[in-house]
Amino acid sequence: MANDATLPRELETDRCGLALGPAERAHLALALAYAPRMSDGEFFSHITAAVILGIPLPYLLVARSLLHLSVFRPRRLPRSVGIRGHEAKPSLVSPIRDERTGLLIANPAAVWASLGRQLTDPYDLVAAGDAVVRTWRVDSPLATLADLEAAVAAGRRVGVAAARLALPRVRSDSASRTESWLRLTLIDHGLPEPERNHDVHENGVYLGCVDLAYPDLKIAIEYEGEHHLRDSEQWARDIARYEALRAAGWIVVQITKTDLFDEPATAVRRVQAAIRSRG
């Protein structure tokens, strides 16, 4: 299937208003273009449903993925160029209509449980779960933690063992894949679990929200993405926020993409040093 589809402007951002990456935009555009060709009983699932729902996935996984469609027996598996067909079980998945796109997809909890095979890094599976149950700055979560628990307990499916291990680490107040990765990295290197998206108030004045925090120690941990390369105004606001935090006695540890994904031990040592400095 040729990758020549375009994406409507209103769908170029996710449900939180963040711009979709190029792989997600292309995949979603292909799903929208293919939808009129879908037969009765077919619905998007797995990676494609995750993209439609805005669940964060690694770039290469999305960029290299076919469109995933599922059907229930006795319907025949969809077979077409660029399509990966799956036979679904009614006990494990329920098709729903996505509100933003109008596409028929697997229910969010089932989508997450199905990603246990595709997401080979446990951190990515936790981050996907965080996105599904997220309550922070959204009108409502895609699913609840109880929904994820029910999906894992519903029966055997490929990847369910990985989902079962990831489930206790899922949090509803994580804002991004990178924030989830950073939290898990710190924990797995022996540090206490930090608070997520912590609002800082000093003497009745709101100084801002920090990605991760140890409030009792007045330590803020901020992931520095590539937004400052695209949005100079946002970067200026971030600098002002960091200056205000430091003036109020907070230590601000700034972690880059290289720190987190290429040199995680170095990132952890910087946070450890901040903790030691507090005695």
Residue 232, pLDDT score: 81
Higher-confidence residue of 269 and 279: namely 269
Please determine, looking at this structure, whether the domain spanning 178-277 carries the CATH number 3.40.960.10: yes
CA distance 159 to 120: 10
Provide the H-helix boundaries in the chain. Answer: 22-34, 46-53, 59-63, 108-114, 122-133, 145-153, 160-166, 177-188, 227-230, 232-247, 257-261, 264-277
Predicted pLDDT at 229: 61
Each residue's pLDDT tens digit, 75-91: 999 989 999 999 999 99
Nearest to 97 by CA among 84, 82, 107: 107
Q: Is the pLDDT of residue 257 over 80?
A: yes
Confidence class of residue 4 from pLDDT cuts 50, 70 and 90? very low
Residue 173 corresponds to which tokens in the numbers above? 């107040």
The closest alpha carbon to 115, from 107, 125, 105, belongs to 125
pLDDT surpassing 70 at residue 3: no
Position 188 confidence tier, pLDDT thresholds 50, 70, 90: very high
Residue 70, beta-bridge partner list: 43, 86
The pair of three-digit structure tokens given for residue 186, joined into one six-digit string: 């710190």
Residue 5 has pLDDT above 90, yes or no: no
The size of the chain, in residues, is 279
Q: What is the pLDDT of residues 191-241, one digit of tens each?
A: 999 999 999 999 999 999 999 999 999 999 999 987 656 778 888 999 999
Model confidence pTM above 0.85: yes
pLDDT of residue 86: 97
> Is 23 a residue whose pLDDT tops 80?
yes
Check if the beta carbon of residue 129 is closer than 8 Å to that of residue 149: no
* Mean pLDDT of the region 120-124: 97
Q: Taking CA 116 as the corner, what is the angle to CA 59 and CA 37, rounded to the nearest 5 degrees?
A: 65
Q: Is the pLDDT of residue 6 over 80?
A: no
Strands 195-202 and 205-214: antiparallel
Please tell me the predicted confidence (pLDDT) of residue 133.
98
Q: Which stretches of 35-105 are DSSP H helices?
A: 46-53, 59-63
Check residue 7 and give its pLDDT.
Answer: 87
Is residue 128 within 8 Å of 115, Cβ to Cβ? yes
**Which part of the chain is CATH 3.40.960.10?**
178-277
Helix, strand, coil shares of the chain, percent, nearest 5, are 45, 20, 35
Position with higher pLDDT, 19 vs 177? 177
Q: In the predicted model, is pLDDT for residue 258 greater than 50?
A: yes
pLDDT score at 2:
44
Nearest-angstrom CA–CA distance, 256 and 221: 11
Q: Cα(168)–Cα(271) distance, rounded to whole angstroms?
A: 24
pLDDT at residue 122, as a whole number: 98
How far is Cα 142 from Cα 150, in angstroms, rounded to an integer?
Answer: 14
The Cα 164–Cα 234 span in angstroms is 38
Pick the range with the lowest mean pLDDT from 15-19, 59-63, 128-132.
15-19
